[in-house]
Amino acid sequence: MRAEALKALEKAIELTPKSTGARADLAYVHAKFGEFGRAREIVSQLKNENRRGFALARTYAVLGDKDSAFAVLGNVYWKWPSGAVLSDPGLNSLRSDPRFAALSARINREMGLR
């Protein structure tokens, strides 16, 4: 389904060229399929545009760039209606890092959750 995913994301980018999410998702798909060079190229473009979001953090996680993933997550977590987004499988490589538990605790504390 790789080809279908790429085609759908490319169409989304065509329809909403200023959307960070679709381009970050495109980078994520490339990273998941081991196309790290293409994923990094897209991420670099997003970084240069100073656009950041959860999809970008997830892509950094898949690329193994934990520092960048946590930097982005620390800046965008407040946009989420709940900390449930931390259950996204794209963040699995971050779960063993102590910063993940700290971020989860921060989200829960600031949202008044237990």
Per-residue pLDDT of 67-112, as tens digits, reads 999 988 887 766 665 566 778 888 899 999 999 999 888 877 777 6
User: What's the burial of 31, exposed, middle or buried (CB within 10 Å: 0-12/13-18/19+)?
Assistant: buried
- What per-residue confidence (pLDDT) applies to 113? 59
Report, as an integer, the average pLDDT of 51-56. Answer: 71
Return d(Cα 61, Cα 112) in angstroms, integer.
27
Decide if 9 contacts 25 (C-beta within 8 A).
Answer: yes
Report, as an integer, the average pLDDT of 24-44. Answer: 88
Report, as an integer, the average pLDDT of 13-41. Answer: 85
Decide if 82 contacts 114 (C-beta within 8 A).
Answer: no
